A and B are shown apart, each in its own frame.
Chain A
Amino acid sequence: MANVFAFAETRGGELRKVALEAVTGARQLADATGGGEVHALLIGAPGIAAKAQALGEHGADAVIVVEHPALELYSPEVAAATAAERIRSGGYRAAIFSASARGKDLAPRVAAKLGVSMASDVTAFQPEGDAIVVRHPAYTGKVITTLVLTGTPAVLTLRPGAVTPAASPRAARVESAAPAIDPGAARVVPKELVQGSNTKLDLGEAPVIVSGGRGLKAPENFRLVEELAAAFGNAAVGATRAVTDEGWRPHSDQIGQTGRLVSPDLYVAAGISGAIQHLAGMRTSKTIVAINKDKEAPIFKVADYGIVGDVLEVLPVLTEAVKKAKGQ
């Protein structure tokens, strides 16, 4: 029986879905090693403690709440020092983070502070004796590795979407703690959080993604992609590198090898040819729909359903059909 630590990521005072994934992952690992406790760390400005309950609902037995007025903006050094101190004193078997932009920044710092190795961007994990065996996509998703991580605690980052948040309700004990370093003494100073265009639903959290490529021909035609996303209601808008390089969409919307890796339930590729760079970011989507006027385009080789045609003609018809199906 071993206790497991989970880092609960927040942004703008709200829990991110990846926080629930980390707690659910920690719960699964604790249960697999004989049912230890899950302790989640929640850091933020005063008031963040209100989010502890949701962590308890997903399997946290205790929530360590660190509130400080200077922590409205995420401080990488305060988070790393506080997580490392807690993990060191708590005697955990493992520490679970998300492989989100923040988690990928935080977990290696914490592991190095603790002097332990870590496994990144994990899609599956399982304890085996003293080790934890994980699956980790490498080579832009073209090779799946099975890795053995030894040492205690084992530090893991979970690929967003790899674990589905699951209810495992309990009344979590809430413990207040102070930041391990004074936020005013941190060398790296956060100045500003810049909100992007996808503020409603993040690409990593949306069950549906509608993505546009060069086939849209002009930036103003992205309106058609946005309208289809709106018709689904639970969709975010993505783009190819060609499109973000052109400045049609912000860099943060780019899906692919050098952008976001996504795995939604439904991925609609509109006017996307399917360059390897793009496929690397979305090939693990559960269902892929492709609309492209070139029937030889590589996107059709990975698509479950393909329509050969001009996206500018197909998208408006599809949007109306989805609206009708959704009863709008």
Chain B
Amino acid sequence: MKIAVCIKRVADMESRFKIATDGSSVDETGLKFDMGDFDGYAVEAALQLNEKEGKGEIVAISLGPDVVQETLRKAMSMGVDRGVQLKADRVPFDGLAIARALAAELQGGGYDLILFGRMAVDSANQSVGPMTAELLGLPCITAASKLEVANGRGTARRELEGAAEILEFPLPAVVTIDEGIARPRYPSLKGIMAAKKKPLEVKPAQLGEAHLTVKGMELPPERTGGRIIGEGPAAVPELVRLLQTEAKVL
């Protein structure tokens, strides 16, 4: 199959974030960046689908400034065949603006499957995948935790709150990937060397106009926790008293 995987370079979420002096972005000084968690699952899902078939091509696409080339090389070191950077000074917050740029690139690409991570963990909008599908007029499954493809049709499982659903769909299609599909592989040394020689195309991103913009960012108030009320079962009566009289939740 010819598969596209759309990936985003995001900050390591284990970081202690600071707001930049503009008040509307995260200070990137000293932060580590990598492919988004769910995008890693999407890359792995694409690799496994084509390994099963024993043929095909996988193209990774990432929108952003030149630093996203690192993320594309990472995908190629895992086994993706080539990369496309849709060059933009910065990634807008508006999912539709991004979806328009991706759809312009994907249109006419002859892809059987277009995969995304379920969401980018930084902006957390979870909208670009299904929006791209609509713009392309393709069937779409979001947040698939299982995906099987055979004879031009796919079957996916989606996790709901306390339940799950099974859906069938025809290819070509857009699928966004939840964790649980398969753990992303670590690039091998051979893979890292090979990735350096794989083609990486740079094109200008045809971003749509943004109608969702960031006015400000702030850090959430610190929880004033840290109150240890006692040790072992002996502390239970005090806990119950506090839940009744102070927190009023019991």
Among the listed stretches A25-33, A164-172, A212-220, A307-315, which one makes contact with chain B, having 4 or more residues with CB under 8 Å of it?
Answer: A307-315
Among the listed stretches A38-46, A63-71, A87-95, A138-146, which one makes contact with chain B, having 4 or more residues with CB under 8 Å of it?
Answer: A138-146
Partner of B230, one of A133, A141, A232, A307: A307
Given contacts A188-B168, A194-B164, A306-B228, contact A149 B212 (CB under 8 A): yes
How many A-B residue pairs lie within 8 Å, measured between CB atoms?
A: 285
Partner of B212, one of A117, A202, A287: A117
A78 at the interface (CB under 8 A from B): no
Q: Chain B residue with minimal CB distance to A318?
A: B236
When the two chains form their complex, are residues A305 and B229 in contact, meaning their CB atoms are under 8 A apart? Answer: yes
Given contacts A196-B162, A252-B164, contact A144 B249 (CB under 8 A): no
When the two chains form their complex, are residues B135 and A112 in contact, meaning their CB atoms are under 8 A apart? Answer: yes
Rounded to whole Å, the gap between the CB of B58 and the closest CB of chain A is 23
When the two chains form their complex, are residues A196 and B233 in contact, meaning their CB atoms are under 8 A apart? Answer: no
Chain A residues whose CB sits within 8 angstroms of the CB of B150 once the complex forms = none
A119 at the interface (CB under 8 A from B): yes
When the two chains form their complex, are residues B127 and A143 in contact, meaning their CB atoms are under 8 A apart? Answer: no
Q: Chain B residue with minimal CB distance to A150?
A: B211
Give Cα distance in the complex from A321 to B99, angstroms: 54
Rounded to whole Å, the gap between the CB of B66 and the closest CB of chain A is 23
Rounded to whole Å, the gap between the CB of B149 and the closest CB of chain A is 14
Chain A residues whose CB sits within 8 angstroms of the CB of B97 once the complex forms = 117
Chain A residues whose CB sits within 8 angstroms of the CB of B90 once the complex forms = none
Q: Chain A residue with minimal CB distance to B103?
A: A112
When the two chains form their complex, are residues B130 and A108 in contact, meaning their CB atoms are under 8 A apart? Answer: yes
Among the listed stretches B49-57, B107-115, B213-221, which one makes contact with chain A, having 4 or more residues with CB under 8 Å of it?
Answer: B213-221
Given contacts A142-B219, A306-B228, contact A118 B127 (CB under 8 A): yes
Give Cα distance in the complex from A133 to B217, angstroms: 13
Give Cα distance in the complex from A80 to B140, angstroms: 11
Given contacts A104-B143, A138-B123, A193-B164, 20 further A-B contacts (CB under 8 A): A77-B139, A109-B140, A112-B99, A112-B131, A112-B133, A118-B125, A120-B124, A120-B125, A120-B127, A144-B217, A146-B214, A148-B213, A202-B162, A252-B159, A252-B164, A266-B247, A302-B223, A306-B225, A318-B239, A321-B236
Tell me the A residues contacting B by CB distance below 8 Å: 11, 73-74, 76-77, 80, 100-102, 104-105, 107-109, 111-113, 115-121, 133, 136-151, 160, 187-199, 202-205, 207-208, 232, 236, 251-252, 257-258, 260, 265-266, 276, 280, 283-284, 286-289, 295, 300-310, 313-314, 317-318, 321-322, 325-326
